[in-house]
Amino acid sequence: MKFRNNSGYFVALFSIILFTFSITGIIQASIVDEESVEALYLFDEGEGDVATDSSQNGRDGTIMGAQYAEGVFGTALMYDGVDDNLLISGYMGVGGKEPRTTVFWFKASSTRDHSWVKWGPNTGGAKYYIRGHVSGQQCFLRIEVNGGQNYGQADVCDGDWHHCAVVFPDGADSVQDHDLYVDGVLQENTGGDREMDTGVNVEVNAGARLTGHSFLHGLLDELAIFSAALDAEQINAIMDTGLYGTVSVDPQDKLTTSWGKIKRY
């Protein structure tokens, strides 16, 4: 009888421990609201020309020329800087003055004004163009909207991997309202202001240049666009643990298929 009681006690204790671990896991996995994920690319396919969108929206991208190479987590896309691109057909990005966050890892193969991510028409305030801002042998993270811009001061063209995040906060209305993070560090804003009204009639792409600028030359990993303004804690969590562990809450979702391949270099 006494043995049974002890056994029951240990079963109960074990259940509590399991439950605690489960709750902890849910809290950690829910640090970013999955409903705010517009599109998410891990680039871990390793072959083919389809970049699977791991969000709930099915916005698979078409890889145009870029090759797979070793990434920060699993594999990444390597761009030749001549004509490589990733096109998200049918997805026009986040428009108007709606809050948004774009994150990605980047490793430069040269110093230039790399075209990282963009959407919107090339007209005043309507363009949404995340690219490099060249300063001597360095380049900085920059968002421009045609008529206004905002850039930081950390060099991301030095050939090392850098995590970039471009955040347009709730209630913001101009390009200087953005918060730019490089390697999780908030940048000081530089540039000229311009009211924003992002257009939604040009598809999102990552790599192709606009006239007068340059194709992305280097490696791109862990690209995601959110319809929410992420804070410093969330951005650092994405940088440290990857998009999979930060965003995914459903073990049955498509992200699971990539989990086994992910490792941090």
Binding site for Ca ion (CB under 5 A): 42-44, 71, 73-74, 221
Between 175 and 262, CB nearer to Ca ion: 262
Between 177 and 221, CB nearer to Ca ion: 221
Between 39 and 126, CB nearer to Ca ion: 39
Between 229 and 239, CB nearer to Ca ion: 239
- The least distance separating Ca ion from the CB of residue 180, rounded to whole angstroms, comes to 22
- The least distance separating Ca ion from the CB of residue 258, rounded to whole angstroms, comes to 8
Q: Contacts for 55-63 with beta carbons within 8 Å, 24 or more apart?
A: 55/224, 56/253, 57/91, 59/88, 59/90, 59/91, 61/86, 61/87, 61/88, 61/89, 61/206, 62/86, 62/87, 62/88, 62/89
Give the CA distances from residue 263 to residues 23, 74, 82, 175, 259, in Å, rounded to whole numbers and listed in that order. Answer: 24, 6, 29, 35, 9
- The least distance separating Ca ion from the CB of residue 222, rounded to whole angstroms, comes to 6
- The least distance separating Ca ion from the CB of residue 77, rounded to whole angstroms, comes to 9
